[in-house]
Amino acid sequence: MKTSWRPLGTLLVLALTCGAIWLLIREISHYSLADIQTSLARIPRPCLAASLGLMILNYLILVGYDGLALKAIRKPLPLRRTMLVSFVGCVISFNFGALLGGGSARFRFYSLWGFSLADILRLVAMLALTFWIGAFGLAGIVFLIEPVPLPEFFRIPQESLHVLAVLLLLGTIGYLAMCVFWRKPLTLKGESFTLPTPKIALAQILVAWADLFVAASCLFVLMPSDLGVDFIQFLSLYLLAMVAVVVSHVPGGTGLFELIILGASPTTHPQAVIAALLCFRVIYYFLPLLVVAGIILVHELRLRFPARI
């Protein structure tokens, strides 16, 4: 009898989400609501505008994930369709996670456009590969240059980050080498696929780096001036938080992302960090979600009533 692990995975994700939110609430309870509100009011408007602009730029960069994946599987689409599915898919994945509906958004659009299930699975696998190879390479470089001190709850010796950095870089270099020298199809779980060309592989890494760099900047411009770390250190902290979020599948990293950033920020005004995280949550997650809700509504209405809309 075949057992489905999906319900168990969903329950685990929900448990992790509740646990992360509970820990975050316990951490935030040490500070007064009035201080957090004051910190929110003190975030300069130019910083809010910069964060909003970086958010828009980041979602434009994210189109590269789908664009490169479509090239890799040789299923080109018009740019407007690529931008549509990328924006909707990324926003839903960021807010609700892959296990709780993120993949279904892309499946909905791509299947309407004539993609087979095998095509969509190959494309989604290429999206994940782009993120992980890029994250590995960038984290390896940043951890070697200037790693941020880890929060106590990670219980990882700081020296271990240098070893980890080398391993991550070797993983990225090994991927590039395979794309250059290994052109035979690979087989995984009965499915056969071919690695992308070296040109596409290099573009994958650059797109992922640009994505992570700009997304981290979107939050960094909201942080207090006495944060206690420079941008490169903050980038290593952001990468650590993002990897934890992706691995855990906690929807939007709710609670977990904030907990890691707050726990590793050496600032003397943690309430200002909390305020920055709240603004980032609104700018990077909630505002795009409102736009996507409108896009999906119009799209579905056009499918059902093509003559009226």
Q: What is the pLDDT of residue 284?
A: 95
Q: How does pLDDT run across 55-89, given as a tens digit for each residue?
A: 999 999 999 999 999 999 999 899 999 999 999 99
> Could you read off the pLDDT of 85-122 as tens digits, one per residue?
999 999 988 888 765 566 788 888 999 999 998 899 88
Please give the average per-residue pLDDT across 229-249, as a whole number: 83
* Residues 166-202: tens digit of each pLDDT: 888 999 999 999 999 887 777 766 667 788 999 999 9
What integer pLDDT is reported at residue 7 of this predicted model? Answer: 60
- What are the C-alpha distances in Å from 123 to residues 115, 156, 258, 268? 10, 35, 30, 45
> Which residue type occupies 87?
F
The Cα–Cα gap between 199 and 212 comes to 20
Q: CA angle 301-304-309, nearest 5°?
A: 50
287 and 53 Cβ atoms separated by less than 8 Å: no
Report d(CA 243, CA 74) in Å as an integer.
29
- Higher-confidence residue: 6 or 193? 193
What token pair was written down for 82? 């690529």
Residue 132 has pLDDT above 70, yes or no: yes
Q: Could you give the CA distance from residue 287 to residue 47 in angstroms, rounded to a whole number? A: 17
**Could you identify the residue written with the tokens 């646990």?**
19
What are the boundaries of each domain within the chain? 46-86+101-304
3-state secondary structure of 230: coil
- The pLDDT assigned to 98 comes to 63
Mean pLDDT of all residues belonging to the chain: 83
What pTM, to 2 d.p., does this model score?
A: 0.86
CA atoms of 158 and 135, how far apart (whole Å): 19
Q: What is the token pair recorded at 144?
A: 């070697």
Please say whether the dihedral angle defined by the alpha carbons of residues 213, 218, 221 and 222, taken in this order, is positive or negative.
negative
Average pLDDT (298-307) is: 77
